[in-house]
Amino acid sequence: MCIRDSIKALYQPALGFVPVVGLAAVLLVGGLQTIDGRQTLGEFVAFYLYLTLLTAPLRSLGTLIGNAQRAVAAGQRIFEVLDASPDIVEPDDAVPLPAGGGHIRFRGVSFSYEDSPELLHDVDLEIRAGRTVALIGRTASGKTTLTQLLPRFYDPTDGTVLVDGADVATVALDELRRQVGVVPQDPFLFSASVRENIAFGKTDATDEEVRAAARLARADAFIEALPKGYETRVGERGFTLSGGQRQRIAIARAVLSDPRILILDEATASVDASTEREIHAALSAVMEGRTTLIIAHRASTVALADELVVLEDGRIAAQGTHGSLYRSSALYREIYDSGLAQPELVGVDE
């Protein structure tokens, strides 16, 4: 139990009990005075009635004061966030992202958070435009961190990240992030309409653009079946939708701006097998013609990739197809046999 709950458990019953004790004292003293004839029965009843009517507002006043204090504290935290200066800023002479198909190059990239050991060590990786690459590794091997350097959620401590030949640190942030679509494992949906959630990253999108993105993500059928279609409110975090439906809305949101690079971070990790097949159908459609990075531990998702990159302790341990890696990489065989060994990958590029 947290400190706030402990205080609430102590004082809330006390604030309810003390006024009752006061009323009992008034009833005792006033009753004795009435019996002694020092006041009439009518005076005693009127005084007790007025006192009872005063108790409820006083209790409400205490509640209002508590709510006001919480509101002030919450307001301070909100303004701290609004006034915070971003760590990642674009340079004054930011350049447009060059035209291209999403060619990616990590050149000597290392990364660490402030006052923490390095998570990535001298990573050299090239991904040709239009290719689909799966990043595989144990927990904390650096898979997600590596993909977060592409849209500049973080900057590398050493090395360079290039997209279509341009250093992402020199590119206008808005343009860069429009060209990198991200589908997280647990997508966040707002308490708004389906249309507003899909158009979150492109608020000026037309209805036809939103519907086209939903069709590409295989989401249009279930959206049309909702009570108000695209205007149906989904509730906070999308609690009125299933896990697969939330993921397909997240996919539609990611592809609405037609990004050249797509990042899938465990996009099917929390759904069942039948829902996973539906999401894979959507992913196959949206991945076409885009450079795609897949972070996954399921064989069915990894099977979508043209190439596999195995990470260990922030370094590239192996790279290649399933067949070549299974023959040459002991680490990949261990990961495959312990978690990826499913029928979907058996026989792939043997």
Q: Give residue limits of the domains in the chain.
A: 3-83, 88-179+260-350, 187-258
Can you give the pLDDT at residue 343? 40
Residue 345 burial class via C-beta count within 10 angstroms: exposed 0-12, middle 13-18, buried 19 and up:
buried
What are the pLDDT digits (tens) for 200-258? 878 888 999 999 988 888 888 889 988 889 898 887 777 778 878 888 888 889 888 88
| Contact yes or no for 165/104 (Cβ under 8 A) | no
Residues of the chain predicted below pLDDT 50? 341-350
- What pLDDT sits at residue 348? 42
Q: Is domain 88-179+260-350 classified as CATH 3.40.50.300?
A: yes
| pLDDT at site 125 | 93
Confidence at residue 344, expressed as pLDDT on a 0 to 100 scale: 42
| 236/67 Cα distance (integer angstroms) | 23
Identify the architecture of domain 187-258 in CATH.
3-Layer(aba) Sandwich (3.40)
pLDDT on residue 339 = 64
Topology alike, domains 88-179+260-350 and 187-258: yes
> What pLDDT is recorded for position 329?
86
